[in-house]
Structure 1
């Protein structure tokens, strides 16, 4: 999906991580659900819910994005957040075509975090100790002998990580059939050592016209992937992973092993050596994904087509994790290993009847009716152990471990079903006036019998004004002009299974007398009145082209309201459950989507064309349950919490904390402030309610995870057989919580390393006008106050994202090749941003999360690629 990143208006596609095999976060026109899924639906060749990473980009023919509710209505229950339609390639009548492409690239870290080097680290820690009136840690002789020390990021990151991509495809067809088959191999080494991803993908598409009235289509795709990942967790200290450790570990320690054969460690720092976390932990996931559709089309009379589409997706994965004794946690547990496996199945049956009819030259009618059935089956298991006899076998021999509490095993199995009835009518008059009306009656097994089904209508009108007789005489330069308006409703049931039922879960062990017995406990408080979350969307826009399509584009304005939120309502602790699912609350997304295409120069030997898009978005919570004026949530790293707020009038998951008013420069400023216990050099917080003290009531919204404005610009230059594409991406008005910055301001331990910027201009008596606090006793202005405008950062950026230069080799005398193209390309070339971290576009909160938090984030890769495309 990175093919679309920044290239489509109204679509936010961000990298959750640059790690090999990492997922992509797709949001279309914001996010409307506070607690349920906000993920866009991906449909591949008619099969909904496909993982887009399982597709080879070379197999894709076209990508279409359905943003408004009316156009997405046909896909029903999971389309409330927009739809991405992917159509894969098919063959054509004629001789067999053979295509082969080979690409090779070198990745490097686009940006490293500038931390204190060895000498700066020692001098800074000594200076802070001196300012606090405490004994120094390092002698001057030690400082003079250290030099720059060890940059642990250089030790953890690969200087050059290769990436390879190979594709072989054949296609062709005859009078009654066509075929396409593609084989792809992808191999990417990560920027962090011991991380990589390998993927083998095979696709076949076959179409057969058995009779004039009978057609068959088969689409199949198989993907096998092997991913080796570094430890990236939401943990803290030794459990945080090598990237976190590379930023915070002691730069005065050398690389390698000490005299005892162990990695060097600082006993005061409560942090593992980054190389121990790299070399002492293995984390491998093997996945298989098979999906496809078989379609039968019957046309008994002209214009009447019956379609039967049967589809399925089978996916399985096996994860293996082991932490050996070379790590601090591994040594404490004498080895820790686990295995986990999942096996999922999705089945689709779709029955459609479509009738198309034209009357004369003016009238056209299309009717569609049908029903769909989907079933989803999930099962999995996991097992873990500690105290292994040896590290040699890793997680492949879990029974060699020893748990005091017995075997640590778990398993699950569940299922849900969807059923929908579809109806749609399209009418056109003179291709000038266009009407669409549709409905869906959708049902889900996730709700009780009384609430299972809901009705969702939609409609759209379009007027091609340019076909009116009066139009050309008024505006002769306008080739085409169409006005559109639509309204639609869609349902969302994106919550866990069995929320309306009382189920039991294993509740652990209980002691009765001298016996330990296993038992079960209720899983939740069920809500049998739970019903569909509903998205209502109004959209109006224009499509236009000028001067015979030299300039073309579209402008859209939308209002998307999501009501009856599937809302997790907090409960008092005395109830025994933390929350209950209810329908309450509403969210509104409004915005503009603008697309503009132009042919700037069109000569025989040279052409220049441009494509520009931009979007404006406002997200707002418009209502919450009467008893809940706001919800404060958020937890990261085990030491950062309550940093997000859901409140009426503000964007969802806004960052919530204290507004800083600079730094106290003197004791006189402290005496006049609302922080009488502060010291010069501490952060001065704004007393929002003017009550003479700083407390939780002074917290305000500091930002939100939704960009105010996004834009993308692609320029294509063609000179004879050369073509050059340049793409730029802009994201503005988005904020993030950066835990690395927070830990630099408020280190868990004084021996942790810090980001250099915040200590090169820290407050001292000699530097009272500094931009950043003193670092002396940071807990005095941290703790509950650590979420503030210093640690919530602007993540806006302008990126020169892609440059691609290609050359088509002349083949006038070749009898072997039909086409040869060579190319040289670069990705993530330059990023202009004030953000201090690796990548302002990243977030490690996952592909479905709304929030934007950077903690243990993987660095952005800058890639130089070259390749060749051959056609036989």
Structure 2
């Protein structure tokens, strides 16, 4: 027994020596594959099958020395900006490697329109973003995923309403861009409804190189590439991702409670002296009406909480299959998303299905085929007639108005004495009462493509494709008659009030068909250091559309047209039309040793919108670049610069959108409700003529200039891009001011008369590095854009002031004219001593205006430029990222500067509609210390506030009414963890990641009370013109938890 014990202790003692005997030393050197120079700080990690690791890094000479256990199987070499390399250890004791640049650097493939190039040989102003970087932002609208991530691309989210995809998108302030998906022109509506999980990359053409798209490229081009399968040796990757979010409104003002509402009503009454300073008006709300709320006998009705939820759910799910062999590759994606609205009725919802299938097949050695299918199904339901009115009516409803008559839930309140026009917002947002709007959007597209390698000419291929796309928007509006009640306390009865008569049903459908055919020859060949990428292509498109709607009054409670009455029924065509285009497209792209680059592109484009003989135009572009860093004098003398490229481009484009369809053709407007004659007791509809046709009308003409610089430092860790651009437009449409006799019976036609200039700059920076196993990156970009009118048809000025005030030619388009506010009167002495008489009724706390021209009078001639109106001048984004041992963190900030807003109605004045409620922030107002004091007594003491005395002009006049809407927002924050392979591989899982994400989490702004990204809807619905009413569905803040698993 003792011998066995001694043997046991001996084995324990020798075990470490046995393990030591199994370790060995591996040494080697790591160098740059392109330059042969040593790489210092390269991470060298030895891995075992069980997941254990040993790690070291290379020294200044690129050498490393690492002791590994006998179980070690691989060495992994990792370095920022280089492709990670894995080497099998086997019996080797010396392993030296060369690391090449990552494909995400100079070899990154950029889609440029009908062809591709690399980042190194790119000659135009093209920015690109990968799909993985996009989906870091979790949002139902894929356009919002681009916010702040692409230089020069401006994104403004206009609403977070379910099924709303109205996000504004433009490139360098130039208007709506052309969207091309997998080589086929689509539109922004299609792009915004795509799933982020089906997108491989997005490229943005911002300069003259977009001329390759001719008449549709005036505002730049967004090129979307969807994912494809790969040669995986017959294996398959299946990825499932899911996330669930909670949504909250951003910056929605609250309303006053009953006590504050009564207080403001009395103050509004007392500030109006009624022409007699000596008599103080009685209180509108007597003290005894306050008392039940003060002692708690009665409580206020919070209509905001009754109508809107604090949080609402949203979810997204996605399944993708990716695989293939050398003969066939495939990618399939199926996505589903559901978003709930904020109404407590749960009647505002949207759900969307996305489908994408891309299959590539090598049919023969020379022949390849590709079949692409895409589909979108979107359903959006909301209470009938509810949009901005839900918010306005909720704000206006008094806090002493019950939700239900006599607080009885069986009888929704409709008492006209306390509800504006008996409108009950709780009922208004409930489809069971008011009916519903159901909008269905169906989109499908299919593309078939063949590519044939022509024998005898290496690098020459022929390609042909045909695409068919159809969209079928369908809407169903059911307007119900509903009943609210007024309670009669004396008789203890409920009197019904019928609303919404008569009941109606409206059905409509729009049918849109589009085809695209392309046939081309492509030549991609290298001869030594000479590289060519050329093509010549014919493209033909055709589109037609037709819409129809039917309306009926309903005498029974039914949502179906067939159950309606014959009286007042109506059926009408909403519009029918077609258009086509034919084009020849070509490119000559040449580079020598990836050092000197030149590209000539053109499009000979014809549009059916214009008459024969005036349909075609030639749109060329030329661009070039010089990689100075590849010159020997740079390599030998400036070793800290890894990449330096100078590039320039010029292009000519057109824009035929504003001309409409067939503008030279005499047309008529059908308006049976406004024009016609009475026959047999009924109005018979007639027509009116459109303006006189102009056979010489043509497209806008655009000339685009761009100069850029790309530079990299510190072994490609620091990368920067600089661009300066200018776009000149001529031939903008305008109508001559000539006077013609009324007997002509028509208006003058539009002509190509005006012109403007868009110019600015872009700067982007990106730094990526690591400390041991901690990887981090910091990036940012900023762009500035202004638009100036160069040639502009104007009425001659009557005098020098008229010329100065109203002339627009030679000026920026977004000048905001107004009167300058000097501040607030703080006491009666200020009012009496002010240089310009203020008239009767002025009080401490009132805003005063400066006499800008010092003529002793404040009027329109004191107006001068005070701000910029419209879209922001500056747009910027900041990205921060880090990862360590499977943990990753990403932060995306986005902001704007140089944009201003002015509010109206409920947002600038307390109680603007008399007895209706108001917003709570107006409690911060000027008021007497003693509530019972006389407002017009000079000895009255005042409590200062942000707003004037209740009832006085809050922010309607002067610069005090204009606020800066500049902001910086934490658009996205995501914290994720990827589980180690050794934890999940035994279950057949290749990758498993969980994450927490936030959207619109923090906002830094000087704008009061509102969301600066979408402060409201302008009165005339024009961007940048007119006062703003905040009655749109607000933007949301979201909190998301999700996971992604790959098998």
Superposition TM-score, scaled by structure 1 size: 0.89
DSSP 3-state at the match of 2:972: strand
Could you tell me whether the CA contact under 8 Å between 1:245 and 1:271 is conserved in 2?
Answer: no
Could you tell me whether the CA contact under 8 Å between 1:257 and 1:263 is conserved in 2?
Answer: yes
Could you tell me whether the CA contact under 8 Å between 1:454 and 1:532 is conserved in 2?
Answer: no
Structure 2 residue corresponding to 1:53, chosen from 192, 217, 220: 192
Measured in 2, the distance between the counterparts of 1:64 and 1:787 equals 44
Measured in 1, the distance between the counterparts of 2:946 and 2:310 equals 34
Could you tell me whether the CA contact under 8 Å between 1:161 and 1:189 is conserved in 2?
Answer: yes
Structure 2 residue corresponding to 1:241, chosen from 382, 389, 404: 389
Structure 2 residue corresponding to 1:195, chosen from 340, 348, 357: 348
CA drift at 1:254: 2.3
Measured in 2, the distance between the counterparts of 1:645 and 1:498 equals 34
Moved more, 123-132 or 807-816: 807-816
CA drift at 1:75: 2.2
Corresponding residue for 1:636? none
Measured in 1, the distance between the counterparts of 2:690 and 2:370 equals 45
Q: Say yes or no: does 1:716 pair with 2:881.
A: yes
Could you tell me whether the CA contact under 8 Å between 1:171 and 1:180 is conserved in 2?
Answer: yes
Per-residue CA distance 1:100-159 (angstroms, 9 max, x = gap): 111111112233214323221110011110121444331222223236623322222222
Measured in 2, the distance between the counterparts of 1:69 and 1:582 equals 25
DSSP 3-state at the match of 1:6: coil
Distance 1:43 1:846, change over 3 A: farther
Q: Say yes or no: does 1:614 pair with 2:791.
A: no
Corresponding residue for 1:863? 1038
CA drift at 1:287: 1.0
Structure 2 residue corresponding to 1:809, chosen from 947, 964, 979: 979
Q: Say yes or no: does 1:799 pair with 2:964.
A: no
Could you tell me whether the CA contact under 8 Å between 2:737 and 2:795 is conserved in 1?
Answer: no
Structure 1 residue corresponding to 2:898, chosen from 733, 753, 776: 733
Corresponding residue for 1:290? 444
Structure 2 residue corresponding to 1:310, chosen from 457, 466, 474: 466
DSSP 3-state at the match of 1:560: strand
Could you tell me whether the CA contact under 8 Å between 1:187 and 1:199 is conserved in 2?
Answer: yes
Measured in 2, the distance between the counterparts of 1:863 and 1:12 equals 21
Measured in 1, the distance between the counterparts of 2:841 and 2:608 equals 58
Distance 1:609 1:569, change over 3 A: farther
CA drift at 1:862: 1.5
Per-residue CA distance 1:72-109 (angstroms, 9 max, x = gap): 22222222111111111111112011111111111122
CA drift at 1:656: 4.9
Structure 2 residue corresponding to 1:263, chosen from 413, 435, 441: 413
Which structure 2 residue ranges, 5 or more long, are not aligned? 1-142, 274-280, 485-496, 799-804, 929-934, 936-940
Which structure 1 residue ranges, 5 or more long, are not aligned? 33-37, 234-238, 631-643
- Counterpart mapping for 1:686-697 below 5 A: 686-690=850-854, 692-697=856-861
Q: Say yes or no: does 1:16 pair with 2:181.
A: no
DSSP 3-state at the match of 1:275: helix
Could you tell me whether the CA contact under 8 Å between 1:645 and 1:652 is conserved in 2?
Answer: no
CA drift at 1:580: 4.4
CA drift at 1:592: 1.5
Measured in 2, the distance between the counterparts of 1:655 and 1:826 equals 36
Corresponding residue for 2:584? 421
Moved more, 162-171 or 686-695: 686-695
- Counterpart mapping for 1:27-106 below 5 A: 27-32=169-174, 38-50=175-187, 51-70=190-209, 72-94=210-232, 95-106=235-246
Structure 1 residue corresponding to 2:285, chosen from 115, 138, 142: 138
Could you tell me whether the CA contact under 8 Å between 2:924 and 2:945 is conserved in 1?
Answer: no
Corresponding residue for 1:529? 696
CA drift at 1:759: 4.5
CA drift at 1:303: 1.2
Measured in 2, the distance between the counterparts of 1:397 and 1:645 equals 53
Measured in 2, the distance between the counterparts of 1:409 and 1:592 equals 49
Corresponding residue for 2:730? 563
Distance 1:132 1:403, change over 3 A: farther
CA drift at 1:385: 4.3
Corresponding residue for 1:826? 998
Corresponding residue for 1:756? 920
CA drift at 1:550: 0.9
The number of residues matched between the two structures is: 836
Distance 1:490 1:335, change over 3 A: same
CA drift at 1:468: 0.7
Q: Say yes or no: does 1:207 pair with 2:335.
A: no
Structure having the higher Rg:
2
The structure, 1 or 2, with the larger RCO (C-alpha pairs under 8 Å, 6+ apart) is 1
Measured in 2, the distance between the counterparts of 1:278 and 1:749 equals 22
Q: Say yes or no: does 1:254 pair with 2:418.
A: no
Could you tell me whether the CA contact under 8 Å between 1:612 and 1:712 is conserved in 2?
Answer: yes
CA drift at 1:261: 2.6
Measured in 2, the distance between the counterparts of 1:434 and 1:836 equals 51
Q: Say yes or no: does 1:343 pair with 2:511.
A: yes
Corresponding residue for 2:809? 648
Q: Say yes or no: does 1:745 pair with 2:886.
A: no
Could you tell me whether the CA contact under 8 Å between 1:270 and 1:749 is conserved in 2?
Answer: no
Structure 1 residue corresponding to 2:652, chosen from 489, 499, 518: 489
Measured in 2, the distance between the counterparts of 1:570 and 1:274 equals 48
Structure 1 residue corresponding to 2:1012, chosen from 825, 840, 858: 840
